[in-house]
Amino acid sequence: MKWISGLLIILTLLPLTSCGETHSTSSIIIVTDKGHSEDNKEYWIAAYNPNNEGKADTFRIIVEEVMVWNLIEEDKEYFSTYAKEGESPWLLEQIEFVK
């Protein structure tokens, strides 16, 4: 009987934990612009995937580490991994310069 109540709790909580769908992408990107908020609390880059999109289809990726943001250069090509949960902005997970 205890295991039935435990199973019911798990089945009730499972849909609640899977509501925020996370999407992760790894691709080549070309950085077109970079900037930060006025209060210097949010840093971002604007980029596009040259294999799928044109320069007009740039999107913004939030960079959580200022030191990483400082090293990223405009008009350079990088291999990167970025993710988003639901409607939140893309977050940079990993970035590597492509020679």
Categorise residue 42: left if φ over 0, alpha if ψ from -120 to 50, beta otherwise.
beta
The answer as to whether 79 is a domain residue is yes
Residue span of the structural domain in which 54 resides? 22-97
The answer as to whether 16 is a domain residue is no
The answer as to whether 83 is a domain residue is yes
Number of domains in the chain: 1
Confidence tier at 22 by pLDDT (50, 70, 90): confident
- pLDDT (tens digit per residue) in 34-84: 999 999 999 999 999 998 867 778 999 999 999 999 999 999 999 999 999
The answer as to whether 10 is a domain residue is no
Contact 23, 83 (CB under 8 A): yes
- At residue 7, the pLDDT reads 47
> What does the block give as tokens for 43?
């840093």
The answer as to whether 3 is a domain residue is no
Mean pLDDT of all residues in 90-99: 93
Cα R_g (the chain), whole angstroms: 19
